[in-house]
Amino acid sequence: MDAVMGFTTPEKPVDVAELFPALAGLARTTVRLHPQRGVTTAYESSLGGPLLWPADEAWPVCTIDHPDDRPLRSAEGQKLERRLAELRAAVDARTTALVEPSLYREYEAVEACIREARRGEYASDPAARLPMVAVAQVYARDVPELPFPEGTDVCQVLWCPTDHEPDYAPRVDVRWRNATTVTAVATAPEPDREHSEDGYLPASCRITPERVVELPDWDDLPSDELREQITAWEKDREWSYGRHLSVAPGTKIGGWVAWEQNAFWPECDQGHRMDHLLTAATSECGYDAWQAWMPLETRARTSFGKRVRFTMVDGCTSHTMIGLDEEFDPATFTMLGRAVVAESVTEAVIPLDSAEPDGLGLMIGDVGDLYIFVCLTCPDRPTAVELQCG
Ligand SMILES: [Zn+2]
Ligand SMILES: [Zn+2]
């Protein structure tokens, strides 16, 4: 068996909660999962690994409106698809201002009919449905912080690995089980690689849970006044509240959300604000935040270089990479024949390993995250997702 590596997030260089009393009471603990590629069993916690799924329970398949480039089988369905193609061509041929509203109305109506026909075909032909893929399985013994409903001790997260209306995200299915009730274990079907998004098929990883105390994302701070105070404090300092001192990036359970874009806390159908359950991330750390969030053990085996940013005489900005022990000399450096403005040069040390080859291997949006939320008030634990590009 491979040695399991430990993961230790560095101590924060500054305790901002001490500097800003308005942050008091806003600290939350998240569980970073530190996915590390490897084979796991159904009896362990994992990301992208086998699930403890009862042999006598059907594997979940998706029959909801995801893109499917296979033509509909019925003559009526094919007629609708031809009409949609005609309408699309008609819309494309005009400028937006000239498209009559009736064209859009018919387009939407035909689309709705096609969705309905596709659902009918999924219902009558199981082979046409997309099998969901295992994303996470977490036992209570490893992460007791999960909101396990009474009598359950394993949380399983699956998703349909393609984009769905209206969120353009994988459709998520979260199951809570009692492990002792599962005797014979099912084997998961192979994912349908032809109709799945490659970037939504996680590699099998072990997890190494690590508890980290976080503060709210910039967007989740309680007031503009506090944001202004923090901005003033950040001036001329190397640490940024948002990138280094607040919320942990990467794949994690609970705690705050490290929004890639604007904060968006969903509500369940009953109007309850939902809580963060799990973030599945493309990148565990990111270039500009590695000092704060790259685990010490990962840092020890990562190569670093210097990223030099500069402005050129024509006003364009660019950058180049040099070795840690190299010096950048603007006087001798040109790019496409253009000289560098010496005063504009800034340097930063960043990790050279651009990908994280030993991790989940996801590509969510453009190096983004998928956030999964759960309602802790409703007993059936409804969930919601939000996908944000990096
Ligand atoms: Zn689907
Ligand atoms: Zn609810």
- Tally Cβ neighbours within 10 Å of residue 116: 12
Ligand 1 center–CA 160 separation, angstroms: 5
For the cut 80, the answer to whether the pLDDT of residue 98 exceeds it is no
Return the DSSP state at 241: I
For the cut 80, the answer to whether the pLDDT of residue 353 exceeds it is no
Q: Give the chain's mean pLDDT.
A: 92
Closest ligand by atom to 158 CA: 1
- Look at residue 24 in the predicted model and tell me its pLDDT: 86
Ligand 1 center–CA 170 separation, angstroms: 7
Average pLDDT over residues 87-103: 77
Residues 6+ apart with CB under 8 A from 16: 23, 215, 230, 241, 245, 246
- Tally Cβ neighbours within 10 Å of residue 25: 8
Ligand 1 center–CA 51 separation, angstroms: 19
Q: What is the pLDDT of residues 264-311, one digit of tens each?
A: 999 999 999 999 999 999 999 877 889 999 999 999 988 999 999 999
Residues 6+ apart with CB under 8 A from 305: 321, 322, 323, 324, 349, 350, 352
Ligand 1 center–CA 131 separation, angstroms: 8
Separation of alpha carbons 124 and 191, rounded Å: 20
Band of residue 36 on the pLDDT scale cut at 50, 70, 90: very high
Average pLDDT over residues 69-90: 90
Which of 222-226, 248-252, 365-369 has the least mean pLDDT? 365-369
Average pLDDT over residues 361-384: 94
Neighbour-count burial for 323-354, b at 16+ CB within 10 Å, e otherwise: eeeeeeebeebeeeeeebeeeebeeeebbeee
For the cut 70, the answer to whether the pLDDT of residue 1 exceeds it is no
- Tally Cβ neighbours within 10 Å of residue 15: 12
Band of residue 3 on the pLDDT scale cut at 50, 70, 90: low
Beta bridge partner(s), residue 317:
311
Pairing of the two strands 304-311 and 61-62: unpaired
Separation of alpha carbons 16 and 21, rounded Å: 9
Q: What is the pLDDT of residues 106-154, one digit of tens each?
A: 998 998 999 889 888 888 887 788 899 999 999 999 999 999 999 999 9
